[in-house]
């Protein structure tokens, strides 16, 4: 075989191989595993989530940064964040003995899933940054998770890392903030 034909054949094989990898990955998150909820926990938190991201990164990338397909979350990002914040707020309110309903406003500042690659390995990186507002006071909650693989990152791996990131989030500042609300109620509004 001539070198020119062999080179064209090698390029064709590479394109076919990469085209097979370039597809949308559906990442299904089991909300019951992500948000373990005690049946006795009363649901007192009202959560409103707003997506305030300037840029959304939910994609698999190749060496050099080329896109190999999007990552689709099921349930969608906003619904997933609502479940997380509601479960955490309900738990904190129950622990603190707060009986009146509380409204928690949540802004999704970052919810990124990326798979940067090098010639030797691929990482799966998930980063979450939320801004919570309770009674006019803001708090930032963040979490991240990373896992490395020496082969192509599978949907199962992306699901595992996406599930781990919220578990690593620092939820204690909002919990402390909700506790402070009980001690120091908001001043009455002037009409």
The reported pLDDT for the residue numbered 186 is: 42
Strands 122-134 and 102-115: antiparallel
Q: According to the model, what pLDDT value does residue 5 have? A: 57
Strand, coil or helix: what is 27? strand
Residue 176 has a pLDDT of 46
Mean pLDDT of 76-103: 87
Least confident of 33-42, 77-86, 114-123, 182-191: 182-191
- pLDDT tens digits, residue range 93-137? 888 888 888 899 999 999 999 998 888 999 999 999 999 998 788
- Percent of the chain past pLDDT 90, that is, above it, reads 28
Model pLDDT, residue 28: 87
Of the candidate ranges 62-66, 78-82, 172-176, the one whose mean pLDDT is the lowest: 172-176
What pLDDT score was predicted for residue 25? 81
Q: Is the peptide bond before 64 cis (omega within 30 degrees of 0)?
A: no
Residue 79, pLDDT > 70, answer yes
Fold observed for domain 24-183? Double Stranded RNA Binding Domain (3.30.160)
- Sequence length of the chain is 191
Q: Which tokens belong to 95?
A: 């622990």
Backbone angles phi, psi at 91, to 5 degrees: -65, -45
The mean per-residue pLDDT over the stretch 26-39 comes to: 75
What is the share, in percent, of the chain residues with pLDDT greater than 70? 75
Q: Is the pLDDT at 87 greater than 90, yes or no?
A: no
pLDDT at 169: 80
What is the model's pLDDT at position 6? 64
Of the candidates 32, 31, 172, 168, which has an alpha carbon nearest to the alpha carbon of residue 88?
Answer: 172
Residue 39 backbone dihedrals phi, psi, to 5 degrees: -65, -25
Q: Where are the domains of the chain?
A: 24-183
Q: pLDDT value at position 66? A: 83
Contact 130, 108 (CB under 8 A): yes
pLDDT, position 182: 43
Phi and psi of 63, rounded to 5°? -60, 130
Structure tokens at 133: 């507002």
152-191 pLDDT per residue, tens: 888 999 999 999 988 888 664 444 444 444 444 444 444 4
Distance CA 57, CA 79 (A): 17
């Amino acid at each position: 075989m001539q070198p020119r034909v062999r080179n064209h054949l090698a390029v064709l094989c590479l394109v076919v191989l990469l085209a097979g990898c370039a597809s949308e990955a559906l990442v299904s998150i089991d909300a019951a595993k992500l948000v373990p909820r005690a049946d006795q926990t009363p649901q007192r938190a009202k959560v409103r989530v707003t997506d305030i991201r300037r840029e959304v990164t939910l994609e698999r990338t190749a060496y050099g940064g080329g896109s190999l397909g999007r990552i689709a979350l099921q349930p969608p990002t906003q619904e997933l964040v609502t479940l997380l914040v509601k479960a955490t707020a309900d738990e904190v309110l129950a622990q603190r003995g707060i009986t009146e309903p509380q409204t928690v406003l949540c802004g999704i500042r970052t919810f990124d899933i990326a798979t940067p690659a090098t010639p030797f390995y691929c990482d799966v990186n998930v980063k979450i940054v939320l801004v919570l507002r309770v009674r006019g006071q803001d708090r930032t909650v963040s979490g991240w998770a990373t896992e490395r693989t020496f082969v192509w990152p599978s949907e199962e791996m992306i699901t595992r890392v996406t599930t781990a990131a919220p578990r690593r989030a620092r939820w204690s500042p909002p919990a402390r903030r909700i506790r402070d609300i009980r001690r120091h109620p908001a001043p009455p509004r002037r009409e």
